Amino acid sequence: MSSKQQQLSATIILLLILLPSAVFAKLVAAEPVKTVSPTKSISMTNLDIVRSTYEGKNSEENGKNLQRFITDETLWTEAAGFPYAGTYQGFAEIEKHVFARLGSEWINYNFQVEDYVAAGDKVVAYGTYSGTNKTSGKFFSARVAHLWQLKDGKIKSFEQFVDSKTVRDAM
């Protein structure tokens, strides 16, 4: 891990430890965005949008839920050292390089969200990844944080921070 990544990880960890998430949840500065569905218009904050991407039963379903808030310009970064490391643009690349692989290489791969921290156009979701690798049969559990940036009700970027070694050791 580079020193820049270590500094960013340390900053996020300090933010999560030192500032209660309940305070940040009240600081969401972005106005609710009107999201149009086939049946009705729904007002959603950035926190609501991010929270909705974790409602699926598995990673593949989360990918489908995510699709409605992704644009062709959305940048999705999987952490260096993670099995799917890289930056992908637009839903097709994200689906191919992340969600399809999670669904095909893992049994019950899951992100259990512990809580959210939201301020302005940024939302952090943190918790624990877990799953069993189909090839090795090994189970893993790793702490993780996701940093989301949104604009006008759409996801601008996503960045993952995770203990990649724990995941790789299960493969």
pLDDT given at position 12: 52
Q: What is the DSSP letter of 59?
A: H
pLDDT given at position 70: 94
Strand partners, 44: 33
Q: Between 22 and 120, where is the model more confident?
A: 120
* pLDDT value at 25 more than 60: no
Place of tokens 């049946």: 39
Distance CA 102, CA 119 (A): 29
How many percent of the chain have pLDDT more than 90?
58
Helix and strand numbers (H, E) in the chain are: 7, 8
Predicted confidence band of residue 110 (pLDDT cuts 50, 70, 90): confident
* pLDDT value at 69 more than 70: yes
Q: State the pTM of this model.
A: 0.75
Strand partners, 124: 117, 147
Query: What's the average model confidence in pLDDT over 4-14?
Result: 49
* pLDDT value at 39 more than 60: no
- Domains in the chain with CATH codes: 3-169 (3.10.450.50)
* pLDDT value at 13 more than 70: no
With a CB cutoff of 8 Å and minimum separation 6, the contacts of 146 are 111, 124, 125, 126, 158, 159, 160, 161
Distance CA 42, CA 3 (A): 42
